[in-house]
Amino acid sequence: MHAVQRLGGGDVLQRLCDGHAVQKSGDDMQSKGSMMHASRPHRDAITAWTLVAPLLLALILAAGWPLARSLWLSLTDASLAGTRAANFVGLSNYLAHADGIWYGVLADPDWWRAVVNTLLFTATSVAAEAVLGVGIALVLNAQFPGRALVRAAVLVPWAVPTIVSAKMWSWMLNDQFGIVNDLLLHVGLIHTPLAWTADPLLSMVTVVIVDVWKTTPFVTLLVLAALQMIPHSVYEAARVDGASPLQQFWHLTLPLIGPALWVAVVFRALDALRVFDLIYVLTPNSPDTMSMSSYARQQAIEFQDLGYGSAASTLLFFVIALAIVVILVAGRVRLTQQAVSQ
């Protein structure tokens, strides 16, 4: 009897030991699994950086080195007029004071006029492109015969190179043989030919109009893609609730295409801040339309003052960098406000 009890007790003890071993093994496997799960993001991060590293290296070589070179030249009196070695002059190209007079880019009225021209061009052109882009996208999103052909035709101005389109418009807007003046004279809207690219009051308007014609299709394309993603059931529900077309656009369409429109505006603003080719072809060396890029090119190439022009180019870089920071902060604030309201 005691032997049976001993055997039974031994079996129970053995089972308890086996159960404890199984539980310990399970805990070990769970611990290993959690460690593997925890290390997976680390491996994914390493893989991501490995894949991105060649692109980052290419960007550093393609953009970082020219930027660093331009920054260094802006601190020297480098010139294209001779072969002498450049001397270090510090921040004199940016701002210097001697004999009671301020010198440098930041003390040059032409630079500040170029800054104002660039900001004015950016604000007016981007605003017009956003409004026209949304309007054209709404039209192209509707069902009508020949819609595919119209969509393709709308993209033609954007596909034409900027230099080509600018030269084409300069011929069309010529005050002597331009077709624009000829048409306006025939319909009676003007009585004398207008110097679109030479008149100080018309030159900036002309540049903005040409830029709007050229780049509005880019905004249209992005907004149209966003419109295509909106389900029709949203509008059907709004019509059932009695919403008017204007209410549907203001409360449904505009918020839903907002992210795409924001991306288009950001890209266009950054592109407009560094505008050069369009202005240089339409109104070369005109102080009424000179942009920051045109100013930097004039100082470095025409006046052959490479150090001074490099200083202007560096300031242009910082202006664009500041604009990027402001845009990103504004976008983050907007997304935060939307998340809070929802």
State percent of the chain over pLDDT 70. 85
Residue 336 lies in a domain: no
pLDDT of residue 333: 63
Query: Nearest Cα to 295, choosing from 152, 110, 29?
Result: 110
186/202 Cα distance (integer angstroms): 20
H helix count then E strand count, the chain: 14, 2
- CATH number of the domain where residue 114 is located: 1.10.3720.10
- pLDDT classification of 22: cutoffs 50, 70, 90: very low
For the chain, the farthest-separated pair of C-alpha atoms sits apart, in whole angstroms, at 129
Query: For the segment 202-216, what is each residue's pLDDT rounded down to a tens digit?
Result: 999 999 999 999 999
Query: Nearest Cα to 223, choosing from 188, 183, 267?
Result: 267
Residue 165 lies in a domain: yes
For residue 335, what are the CA distances in angstroms to 138, 139, 329?
24, 28, 10
Query: What domain range includes position 240?
Result: 110-304
**Is the Cβ–Cβ distance between 291 and 117 less than 8 Å?**
yes
Residue 198 lies in a domain: yes
Residue 45 lies in a domain: no
Q: Tokens in use for 213?
A: 């014609």
> Over 90: is that where the pLDDT of 110 sits?
yes
Query: For the segment 305-338, what is each residue's pLDDT rounded down to a tens digit?
Result: 999 999 999 999 999 989 888 887 877 766 566 6
- Other beta carbons less than 10 A from residue 103's beta carbon: 16
> Over 90: is that where the pLDDT of 15 sits?
no
Query: For the segment 48-75, what is each residue's pLDDT rounded down to a tens digit?
Result: 889 999 988 888 888 888 888 999 999 9
Collapsing DSSP to helix, strand or coil, 97 comes out as strand
**Is the Cβ–Cβ distance between 89 and 75 less than 8 Å?**
yes
How many domains is the chain built from? 1
Residue 46 lies in a domain: no
**Is the Cβ–Cβ distance between 175 and 196 less than 8 Å?**
yes
Beta bridge partners of 101: 98
Residue 255 lies in a domain: yes
For residue 46, what are the CA distances in angstroms to 33, 50, 51, 54, 167?
20, 6, 9, 14, 49
Residue 92 lies in a domain: no
Query: For the segment 252-297, what is each residue's pLDDT rounded down to a tens digit?
Result: 899 999 889 999 999 999 999 999 999 999 998 899 999 999 999 9
Residue 197 lies in a domain: yes
pLDDT of residue 3: 44
**Is the Cβ–Cβ distance between 75 and 303 less than 8 Å?**
no
One-letter identity of residue 74: S
One-letter identity of residue 116: V
Q: Report the run of H or E that residue 321 belongs to, with start and end.
A: helix 306-341
157/190 Cα distance (integer angstroms): 27
Helix, strand, coil % in the chain, rounded to nearest 5: 75, 0, 25
Please name the residues in contact with 90: beta carbons below 8 A apart, sequence gap of 6 or more. Answer: 75
